[in-house]
Amino acid sequence: MTRKIQILVIGHNENGSTPEAEKIAYDTGLEIAKSGAVLITGGLGGVMHAACHGAKDGGGLTVGIIPQNDPSFANEYCDIVIPTGIGLARDFLNALAGDGVIIVGGGSGTLSETCAAYMYKKPIAAIKNSGGIADRFADQYLDHRKNVKIVGVSSPKEAVKYILEKINAS
């Protein structure tokens, strides 16, 4: 049996998220479900909630890796909840759980996850015009090591396609 591909979607929680970013995240979750991959998120609100909602509407499987020790903090669209109890350190778990990463907007927590994924050379796509970290780092490397380029894409469909191509090529 072959393991399913796992795609992490990261971005603002409800504090900082916008309706536009949430629509993009919903569509990203839907595209992940259509591809047959598993959606991984931080399991809370904002972009995470919207991506999980989209994946569930598309018949997909969702996993929420939450910072709390109580699974009830996860959003209602998480099929599997992993309550870590380790607070923000869970950002590294999120980055390592995904075979690839899609950034939708985002603030400092999103940047933390992006840096972790970058250090482990995970393929990363940033959806342009979704705000925050995605817009700031699209089509760039995070540092002089040039581990992986954060590829800017125009749509959720393009993001999922790029991530799947990179994963399948490796």
Q: What is the pLDDT of residue 1?
A: 60
If one counts every other C-beta atom within 10 angstroms of the C-beta of residue 14, the result is 13
**Is pLDDT larger for residue 12 or for residue 1?**
12
pLDDT for 38 beyond 80: yes
| Alpha-carbon distances of 130 from 62, 82, 92, 105, 108, rounded to whole Å | 22, 27, 23, 5, 15
Q: What is the pLDDT of residue 170?
A: 80
Q: What is the per-residue pLDDT across 47-101, written as a single tens digit (0 to 9) for each?
A: 999 999 999 999 999 999 999 999 999 999 999 999 999 999 999 999 999 999 9
Give the pLDDT band of residue 144 (cuts 50, 70, 90): very high
CA distance 50 to 28: 9
Q: What is the per-residue pLDDT across 13-30, written as a single tens digit (0 to 9) for each?
A: 999 999 999 999 999 999
* Residue (of 118, 69, 73) closest to 98 by Cα position: 118
Q: What is the pLDDT of residue 74?
A: 98
Class of domain 6-169: alpha beta
Average pLDDT over the chain reads: 97
- Name the pTM for this structure: 0.97
